[in-house]
């Protein structure tokens, strides 16, 4: 799940990132959506999935002008090696994974209003473990209608056909990746009254899972995971200085599952809210972003399911210590869904820092560290060995070389470690990536 409070700033930055890479980073909506399920690491991409965040000034792709739009077609060819391709605690298996990632972005260049369209795919083939092959597809539309001088209407429409990897521990997995569709849309309206900014938004998302097959050839019925989520949010900000704005926001959401009871006989439909308050700021053009705190609360239709609630910190920061170095940090938190029989859900907090440095005009060094803490809300009577917490640590380094505006090559290494109170689910992986990106 991802909390996005300053929609105009953050989503603009996200889309600029999306247009330059073969992997898509998605945070559905501009405020929290509970239970956001994204394939692999798309909600927290590492250096292998997202090697280039921004191009050096002299190597930015120029694109193709098509009427009122600029087109940026491209493709990324990636070889990935993992020493634990199946994410197991013991008897690890290494493998090569070959990725083909085509994409195209269309951005309007109108004087008023904006429209952005994105099509992308991640097609992966395992050299020795072909049953893990997958194909993920993305279609995204977002834009803005300038209603009047200080008012605008924002909108988005998304469709993704994704998979769950073997590293997922929140639901039962089959031999082959579990496929699912994600549909989403949002509509928002913002108006500024002198120093006061008011925004309202509504969002809808749907998750639709396919069944999978277990190691014993039994069918894993995932229809109890299909659900719709609707939310409504309001945000108010007051600009007390030219470069600083204090804000508060409130979001109410409702989750409706297609099936009244899940595989364990529990009714997981729920409703909840998120309250947030913080500061959006820019300091001398060097440090900019958001700092905020949030309170989350979710209750369930089934009285046997204990409600999940908690405080969380939030941040989305960019620091430019030099003209050649960018440091980006984020903190997100939220309540996530699970089908685990002894838990009603879990509270996830993600911390991430990434550094990009231009060593020379055509050579870029990168580094990234992230930590995710999943705290499960256990049901009364749960056994002592029931899953209560997972902690995922990841760190990586990379290098990008730009031949010209249209061709670049990237190499990256990352290390992941999952620690859990369920030892059989723990894993460690070392992965090496080599990518060639072509973009017009």
The string of pLDDT tens digits covering residues 330-384 is 999 999 999 899 999 999 999 999 999 999 999 999 999 999 999 999 999 999 9
Residues 31 and 13: their CA atoms lie apart, in Å, by: 16
**How far apart, in whole angstroms, are the C-alpha atoms of residue 176 and residue 135?**
12
402 confidence band (pLDDT: 50, 70, 90): very high
Q: Look at residue 124 in the predicted model and tell me its pLDDT.
A: 97
pLDDT of residue 49: 83
Per-residue pLDDT, 114: 96
Identify the CA nearest to 186 among candidates 119, 253, 257, 237.
Answer: 253
Q: Give which of 320, 315, 317 is closest to 286, Cα–Cα.
A: 320
Strand 64-66 versus strand 287-300 pairing type: unpaired
Residue 58, phi then psi, degrees to nearest 5: -80, -5
- Residue scoring higher pLDDT (40 or 73): 73
Say whether pLDDT at 286 is over 60. yes
Residue 231 and residue 211: Cα distance in Å, rounded?
27
**pLDDT over 60 (residue 35):** no
CB 18 within 8 A of CB 105: yes
Of 228, 183, 230, 182, nearest to 202 (Cα)? 230
In CATH terms, is domain 7-439 a member of 2.40.160?
yes
Q: Which tens digit of pLDDT belongs to each residue from 150-209?
A: 999 999 999 999 999 889 888 888 999 999 999 999 999 999 999 999 999 999 999 999
For residues 40-50, average pLDDT: 71
The CA distances from residue 398 to 12, 74, 435, in Å, are: 25, 21, 11
Domain ranges of the chain: 7-439
């Amino acid at each position: 799940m991802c909390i996005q409070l300053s929609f105009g700033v953050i989503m603009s930055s996200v889309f600029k990132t999306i247009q330059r890479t073969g992997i898509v980073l998605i945070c559905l909506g501009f405020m929290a959506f509970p239970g956001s399920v994204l394939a692999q690491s798309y909600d927290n991409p590492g250096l292998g999935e997202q090697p280039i965040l921004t191009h050096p000034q002299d190597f930015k792709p120029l694109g193709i002008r098509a009427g009122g739009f600029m087109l940026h077609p491209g493709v990324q060819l990636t070889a990935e090696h993992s020493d634990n391709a199946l994410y197991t605690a013991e008897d690890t298996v290494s493998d090569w994974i070959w990725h083909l990632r085509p994409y195209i972005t269309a951005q309007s260049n109108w004087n008023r209003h904006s429209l952005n369209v994105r099509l992308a795919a991640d097609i992966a083939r395992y050299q020795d473990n072909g049953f893990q092959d997958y194909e993920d597809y993305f279609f995204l539309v977002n834009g803005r209608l300038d209603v009047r001088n200080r008012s605008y209407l924002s909108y988005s429409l998304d469709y993704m056909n994704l998979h769950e990897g073997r590293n997922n521990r929140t639901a039962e997995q089959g031999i082959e990746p579990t496929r699912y569709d994600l549909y989403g849309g949002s509509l928002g309206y913002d108006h500024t009254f002198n120093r006061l900014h008011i925004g309202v938004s509504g969002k809808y998302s749907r998750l639709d899972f396919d069944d999978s097959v277990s190691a014993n050839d039994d069918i894993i019925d995932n229809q109890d995971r299909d659900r719709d989520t609707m939310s409504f949010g309001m945000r108010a900000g007051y600009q007390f200085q030219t470069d600083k704005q204090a804000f508060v926001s409130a979001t109410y959401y409702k989750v409706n599952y297609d099936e009244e009871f899940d595989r364990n006989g529990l009714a997981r439909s729920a409703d909840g809210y998120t309250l947030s308050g913080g500061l959006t700021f820019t300091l001398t053009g060097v440090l900019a972003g958001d700092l905020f705190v949030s309170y989350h609360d979710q209750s369930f239709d089934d009285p046997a399911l204990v409600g999940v609630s908690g405080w969380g910190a939030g941040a989305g920061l960019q620091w430019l210590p030099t003209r050649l170095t960018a440091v980006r940090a984020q903190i997100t938190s939220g309540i996530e869904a699970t089908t685990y029989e002894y838990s009603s859900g879990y509270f996830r907090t993600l911390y991430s820092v990434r550094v990009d440095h231009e060593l020379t005009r055509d050579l870029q060094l990168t580094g990234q560290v992230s930590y995710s803490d999943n705290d499960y809300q256990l049901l009364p009577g749960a056994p002592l060995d029931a899953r209560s917490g997972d902690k995922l640590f990841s760190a990586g380094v990379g290098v990008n070389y730009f031949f010209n505006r249209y061709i670049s090559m990237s190499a990256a290494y990352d290390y992941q470690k999952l620690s859990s109170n369920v030892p059989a689910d723990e894993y460690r992986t070392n992965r090496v990536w080599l990518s060639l990106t072509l973009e017009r």
